[in-house]
Structure formats: structure tokens, C-alpha cells
Amino acid sequence: MSTSLPGAPARNVILIGGSQGSIPVLKRLLAGLPREFHAAVGITVHRSPTFASSLADVLGVHACIPVCEGRDGQLFERGAVYLAPPDHHMQFRGGAVWLDRGPKQQFVRPAIDVMFASGAASYGPRVIGVLLTGNLSDGVAGLIRIKQQGGLSLVQEPAEAEAPSMPVNAISYDDVDIAFKSDSASNLLALLVAGASLDRASRVPGVRRLPRKQQLPALRTGQQRNSMRVGGYDRTAVGVLAELQRLRRR
């Protein structure tokens, strides 16, 4: 019996953002994807603009599908992974990758928010947004845009994240669909791309379906986002660590 939702959109664009501690997670995720993977994958990781990077090669060793640094005007095609290069935002228009050195967002370039927002505008409900471990809140506003356009919002389980504040802030401000442990990520994405419902996907071990939110707090901008209280929780670094300890005690 099919587990897909009748009339559900094809989920064939996966956009992944991460920062501190995300490289080991990406290695496991890409290694677990099948060779016949019918989705295009875009990845933005916070990277030094001056350090010569071989990240595409590092990730490609573990992947069953090709991994490359995105090139301006390159086609964004299914069955391949496109990595935002250092010091460039990565966006999508007309089925292609577009790079620019526009202003930093969330103090960084490339920024996850830029890629997520562009993907949401170009691909709408076809997008699965994935936010991994990282500090502060880059990617949170972009996940909100993805949800507004009918896409799915996924985050790494904060309790296992090396730097939990990006997933924690996403859960606070966005109507996140699923939190997952890193060992479950590739199976989860393969199921969603194949058309599985959220209920079916949430039965994968290490995957947790999050309850729907009726009302979301306003997302502040700039440095305000890094020192505030939301829903009774302190969103400073100290508050994030306290919440992480609470999650681990569950």
C-alpha cells in the first residue's frame, strides 16, 4: 500500500544548511543516500573566505551521488549535490545555480537563509529544508519561508547537535515538521523524496514528529535574535545550553 499522500507535491529539492559540527553529519547523510536519488541537493555550510577548501572532495568521498561546488549558471539537477563556495551566497533561478557576493546575512557569506529563501521562491512545495547543528540562528528565517511556500521543515535533534542553537531556534520560531538524529537523516530523506507521508517518515528510528503550532512568535532580526526570551525560554547561549541539558534528561 502506498504511503504517499494523495495529490502531495513531488519533494525533489533538498536544501541543507549547517555550521559548527555539521561536516561529520553531512558525511553520514550523503553516504547513506541511494545511488538512484531523484532529488537535487543544495548545501550551504559556513566556511572561511580565505582558507583554501576541498570540502566538495571531502564530502564526495562518502557520497554515492556527485558532489561539486556550485558554479554560476550551472544547471541544478536531480541526482547531484551542489555546495555553496566560500564567500558566495548560493541561489536558484530558472533551474540553475546563481552565485553572488551580496551583503553578509547573519554575519556570514554564504548564508543559509539566502539559499533557503531562494529555493522556497523557485521551487515552492517541492523543497525539503534541513537545518543542522550550528550557532546562532542562520537558516531559521529561511525555513519559515520554505514552510510558507508549502515545503517541509526538518532539523537535527538538538540533544545530539554539537552546537544546538540553530535547531533550537528553528523549533522555537518555525512550525518544524520533524527533528531527526543524524544516523536517521539519509533514510528519512529517501522516504520523503519517494513520496512518504510525514506520519510514515516519522516511524523511522531516531525521527520525531513535532506537534503543529497554532501561533508562532515573531522572528526578530539581527543581533536581537541572539539574546531574548521566547515562550519562557532564554535564547542566549546560556539559555540554549540549559535547554539542551533538559532535552537530554528526557
Report the chain's terminal Cα–Cα distance, integer Å: 35
The H or E element that residue 201 is part of is helix 198-201
Type of residue found at 157: E
Instruction: Kindly state the helix (H) or strand (E) to which residue 17 belongs, with its residue range.
Output: strand 13-18
Active-site residue among 46, 113, 175, 202? 46
Is 19 an active-site residue? yes
User: Active site includes 46?
Assistant: yes
Q: Indicate if 48 belongs to the active site.
A: no
Annotated catalytic residue: which of 138, 174, 175, 177?
138
Q: Which residue reads 562518502 in cell numbers? A: 62
Beta strand 67-69 with 40-45 is unpaired
DSSP letters of 149-180? TT-EEEEE-GGG-SSTHHHHHHHHHS---EEE
> Whole-angstrom Cα distance, residue 182 to residue 185?
5
Q: Which residues are catalytic?
A: 19, 46, 138
